[in-house]
Amino acid sequence: MDLTHGLPLIGPGFGAFDLDAAGTPTPDFAAEPEGFMVAMDAAVRIHFLDWGEPAEIADVAPGVLLIHGFAQTAWSWAPIARRLCSGAHVAAIDLRGHGLSDAPTDGYDPDQLAQDAIAVAEGAGLLAFANEPHPPGGRGERPFVVAGHGYGAAVAAWTADALGDRCAGLVLVDGGWTDLPAQTGMTPAEWLVAIAEPPEVLRSMAAWLADREAFDPATWGADQERAARAEVVETAAGRVKLAIHRHALAASVGALWTYEPAAVLPAVDAEIVSLVARDDEAGRHLGSLREMAAARAAVGRAPIRAASFPALGHNLMRYVPDGVVAAIRAAADRRPDAVNPRPDAAAGASG
């Protein structure tokens, strides 16, 4: 694959990551996922899309859970799922309050969001071999990878931390390593105002789709349109509004404002691979990743492997799906130096 515009990150806390090593995956445009629900406490239902087991290598195929960003849905991951589904069992969650999942007034705390994701992974069978004997003739237990985009990257990190050594890899797509309250200096309410869609974009479905297509016409297609349509609802007056309820969006932002990457990422057992999109002029986003890589290395964890795409926007699943797929494959291939005890466990053993 031609990803020469991707810049590998090297130095303290970073390991090598070859974006071109896996070759170019072929998307399966005929593959259609099935939709399922898992029931959580208080009868809250969490929806997910499941692309199913690959027929030929089902006994050892990695399990991959994909987690979308703010106000998006599982369909934002379709370009990735189509490239992975021939060699991995892939599912994509609608986070609570998003898509076809229920939107309760509570449950947006880190522990519950992680439990939602784990319930989907278990319900889809992505963790099927984690606590079972290896299948006859198999090569070992199924590796499980969780990947998240933006807000979903924080949820993915909480999930990986909760799973411990049941999770082989964590992929952070342009998020999950930045302390947003510290970086922005904003309250959740102020940040919601800053990211609000302009009124002219919401004046009609046609205006909404045209705006989304204009981000990068070359990558616009049926999956991108389906993802864009899933993010909004059309009113009787012909305008559109975000499909996510206001209380769920505010609660999700509130959850992100509690995320402390300096506490979570050094504790994660899993291999971490990160992809960075265009940064601000001060380079704060990439700078935060360097700090997290150093913090992780300081407690003896395997280096974060990462690549930067300084010319591309936030939605790297759309702009460089091959690069995101390569990151997920790399995270599934757990290296010997990635297997380290949790820092707290190591401290307890030495004491």
Q: Where are the domains of the chain?
A: 7-186+259-346
Q: What angle do CA 111, 114, 119 make, to 5 degrees?
A: 120
263 class by beta-carbon count within 10 Å (0-12 exposed, 13-18 middle, 19+ buried) = exposed
- pLDDT at residue 8, as a whole number: 82
Average the pLDDT over each of 119-128, 147-156, 172-181 and give the range with the smallest value. Answer: 119-128
Average the pLDDT over each of 14-18, 96-100, 106-110, 183-187 and give the range with the smallest value. Answer: 14-18
Q: Binning pLDDT at 50, 70 and 90, where does residue 7 land?
A: confident
Helix (H, G, I), strand (E, B) or coil at 7: strand
235 half-sphere exposure, CB direction, 13 A CA radius: 8
Question: Looking at residue 196, what DSSP letter applies?
Answer: P
User: What CATH fold (topology level) applies to the domain 7-186+259-346?
Assistant: Rossmann fold (3.40.50)
Helical (H) or strand (E) element with 38:
strand 34-39
- pLDDT at residue 338, as a whole number: 44
| Residue 176: how many other CB atoms lie within 10 Å | 30
What is the mean predicted confidence (pLDDT) over 57-66?
80
Residue in 34, 227, 44 with CA at minimum distance from that of residue 149: 227
Q: What tens digit of pLDDT does each residue of 148-177 get?
A: 999 999 999 999 999 999 999 999 999 999
In this model, does residue 350 exceed pLDDT 60?
no
Joined tokens for residue 77: 């991951």
Counts for the chain of helices (H) and strands (E), in that order: 13, 12
- pLDDT at residue 21, as a whole number: 62
